Structure 1
Amino acid sequence: MAERYPVMEGAEPFYFEGDDTGVLVIHGFTGSTQSMRPLGESFHEAGFTVYGPRLAGHGTHPEDLEDTSWQEWCDNVEEGFRFLKETCTDIYVAGLSMGGTLTLYLAERMPEMKGIIVINAAIEIPDADPEHLPDQRFVQTAPPDIKKEIQQEAVYEQTPVKAYGELYGLMLETRSNLMDITVPARIFVSDVDHVVPPANSEDIYHTISSENKRIIPMHDSYHTAVLDNDKEMIAIESIAFINGLTSTSG
C-alpha cells in the first residue's frame, strides 16, 4: 500500500548496529516506533543489533491506517526478521500489545528464531470484535494507558473502525496457531491493563508449547509498560533472558 501522508517526527524506523545477536522490536496498534525506542536503546547498550520497523499505516495519518490490512503488518515484521538475518546469527523478537501479537505470529512461522519477548500481548480484545464496533468511519482513540505521570505516547487521535477489524483478524489467526510456538518465551503482563485484558497473557503462557517459558508480572505499569514505571525491569529481564540463551547456545 502506498501511504499518502508523511511519517511523523519520532515515528521513523530505527536501526542500531551491534554484535551478531539481533533483536526485532515491534510497536503496537495505532502507535509508532517512539514507544519501543527506549527498549531498543537498552538492547543496543547491551551490545545487540536492534531494528524497530514502522508498521504500515502507522506513524502517518489515520487514513493510511484505514487502507491497511493485517497481512501487511505481518509482511513488515517478516521483512524485518529477514533484514536482521543478513548480519545476525541469533535473532530475538520483542513486541508490545499488537506488536506482541505479531511476535507470536512470527514465532509460529519462523521457529529458527532464538526466543520471544511479549509485553501485554493481544490475542483477544472484546472491543475489537466486529460485532461490537460502531457503524461509523472513525472513533476517538483512548488516551495512552500509562500509569507514570508526564509520560506520553505518540498515537493517533482517531482510529479507523476498519482497522479494528484487521486487528481482530490478526488476533484470530495468531490465536489459532499458538500451540505451534516452541521457542523460549518471556511473557510480561501488567496487573492492571485498561486496553488488553491480562488474561490474554495467561492464555498465551498456557497454550504455547515452549518448554522454556516464564510469565513476569508488572505491578507498577498499565498497558504501555515500555514507557511506564516497569520499563527498566522489562529491559533488565529481557537482556538477561537473551544473554542466558546466547551463552547456552554458544
Structure 2
Amino acid sequence: MLRKMYKKLKAVLLADSKLLCDRKERNLINKPFEFRGTNGRAILLIHGWTSTPYEVRKLGKYLNENGFTVSAPLLRGHGTVPKDLEKVKWTDWIKDITIAYNKLKKDYSQVYVIGTSLGANLAVILAKNKPSVSGLVLMAMPYKIRIERTMVLLAKLMSLFEKYNKKFYPPTFGVSTTMTRVISYQTYPISSAFEAFIPVKISRRILPKITQPCLVIQSSSDHVVARKNLEQIYASLGSKIKEKKHIKRAYHTFISDSKNGRVFKDILDFINRN
C-alpha cells in the first residue's frame, strides 16, 4: 500500500513542469472557461471523458490570442469526484455542449467545434444535429476501440463484481506523467464507461452524414483507439473538405502535451482556411 502511494506521489511531483498547471491556475483545473475574441468568430472546445476543460485550456488561449472567442464547458459529472458520473447519461453531455453552442451562436455567425477523445465523438453528434456548425476538428476520436468486442465483454463481466475500474496509462515518451493524468479521474464507474461507448457507436454510424469541413488528428502511438482509426474516420466522413494528420510519439490526448503545441498552428490554419 505504501509503495503504491509513493509511486503515485512521485509521478506527480516529478512530472514535467510544463505539463502541470501553473500554481496560479490550480483553482481552474475543474472549471469551464470562456475567452472573448476580436475577429467575430467563435470556437467551442469539448474535453474528454473523465477529464476537464483544463486539458484544452492552452489550445483555447492560443486560439483566443489569434482573435477567436473560445468557450469550453464542463461536462456533467466531471471535475468533482468519480461518483458523480454514476447517474449521468450520454445525452446529458449532448445537452451540455448544445447549450454552450447555442449561446455562442447567438452572438457569432461562424462557430467551429473542436473535440478531443470522447469530446470529438460528441462534436460529431452536435454537427449532425446542428448543420450550422462551421467546421470540425476531431482529435484522438475513437472510431473503434482496440479489441473492442473483448473490452466490452470484459467490462460487462467486471460490472457483475465491481462498481469501479482503475485507469491504465501507457509509457509517456520521456515524462513521468501527463497533464491529462494529473487532472482526470483515476477511477471511473463502469456504468459510465458503457454510457461513453454509446456516442462512439453513434458517431461512427453518422460520419457519412457530416458535411462540414473537418480536420482529423491522431497520435500514431495512441493506446486507446485502433491503429486504422484515423483512416476509417477520414474515409467515412461525408465532408467534401477534409484533412488528416498523424502525430508521432504522443499520448492519446496529445493536445495537453507541451511537446505537441505545434498542432495548435495546424488547427488554426485549418480553421482560417475554412
Same fold (TM over 0.5): yes
* 2:204 is equivalent to residue 175 of structure 1: yes
Candidates 160, 166, 173, aligned match of 2:195: 166
The match for 2:108 is 88
> Pick from 151, 156, 164: which aligns with 1:138?
164
Contact kept? 2:85, 2:189, Cα under 8 Å: yes
Q: CA deviation at 1:152?
A: 2.5
* Structure 1 unmatched ranges of 5 or more: 1-7, 246-250
- DSSP 3-state at the match of 2:261: helix
Task: Output the amino acid matched with 1:152.
Answer: M
Q: Max radius of gyration: which structure?
A: 2
1:88 Cα deviation after fit: 1.2
Instruction: Give yes or no for contact 2:142–2:224 (8 Å, CA) kept in 1.
Output: no
Residue in 2 aligned with 1:31? 51
Contact 2:90 2:195 in 1 (8 A): yes
C-alpha change, 1:145 and 1:238, in structure 2 (3 Å) is farther
Deviations 1:173-222 (A, max 9, x none): 22111111010000001110112224222211000111110111101312
The equivalent residue for 1:185 is: 214
1:16 aligns with 2:25: no
Cα deviation per residue 1:67-118 (whole Å; 9 max; x = unaligned)?
1100001111111110111211211000110011111111222121111001
CA contact 2:29–2:53 (8 Å) conserved in 1: yes
Distance 2:67 2:78 in 1: 28
Q: Partner letter of residue 97 of structure 1?
A: S
Deviation at 1:49, TM superposition (A): 0.2
Matched residue type, 2:166: Q
Amino acid at match of 1:61: V
CA contact (8 A) 2:136 2:213 kept: yes
Identity among equivalent positions (%) equals 29
Distance 1:160 1:15, change over 3 A: same
Q: Which amino acid aligns with 1:111?
A: P
Q: CA deviation at 1:148?
A: 5.4
Distance 1:204 1:230, change over 3 A: farther
1:152 equivalent among 156, 166, 179: 179
* Kept in 2: contact 1:70–1:170 (CA 8 A): yes
* 8 Å contact from structure 1 (residues 145, 193) kept in 2: no
CA distance in structure 1 between the aligned counterparts of 2:231 and 2:29, rounded to whole angstroms: 33
Cα contact 1:120–1:198 (8 A) shared by 2:
no
TM-score by length of 1: 0.89
Partner Cα distance (2:106, 2:61) in 1:
21
Change (3 A) 1:229 1:147: farther
* Counterpart contact for 1:129–1:165, Cα < 8 Å: no
Counterparts of 1:43-122 in structure 2, within 5 Å, are 43-122=63-142
Q: How many residues align?
A: 238
1:124–1:200: 8 Å Cα contact kept in structure 2? yes
Higher helix residue share? 2
Change over 3 Å in CA distance of 1:110–1:77 after alignment to 2: same
1:203-242 paired onto structure 2 within 5 Å: 203-228=232-257, 231-242=260-271
RMSD of aligned residue pairs (Cα, Å)? 1.8
Q: In structure 1, which of residues 162, 180, 194 is the aligned counterpart of residue 223 of structure 2?
A: 194
Q: TM-score normalized by structure 2?
A: 0.82
Aligned partners of 1:114 and 1:183 also within 8 Å: yes
Do 1:147 and 1:220's aligned partners in 2 also have CA atoms closer than 8 Å?
yes
Amino acid at match of 1:32: T
- Contact 1:62/1:159 (CA < 8 Å) preserved in 2? yes
Shift of 1:144: 7.7
Question: Unaligned stretches of 5+ in structure 2?
Answer: 1-26
For residue 131 of structure 1, report the CA deviation from its aligned partner: 2.3
Per-residue deviation, residues 8-57 of structure 1 (Å, max 9, x unmatched): 75111000001321000010011111101011111101110000010011
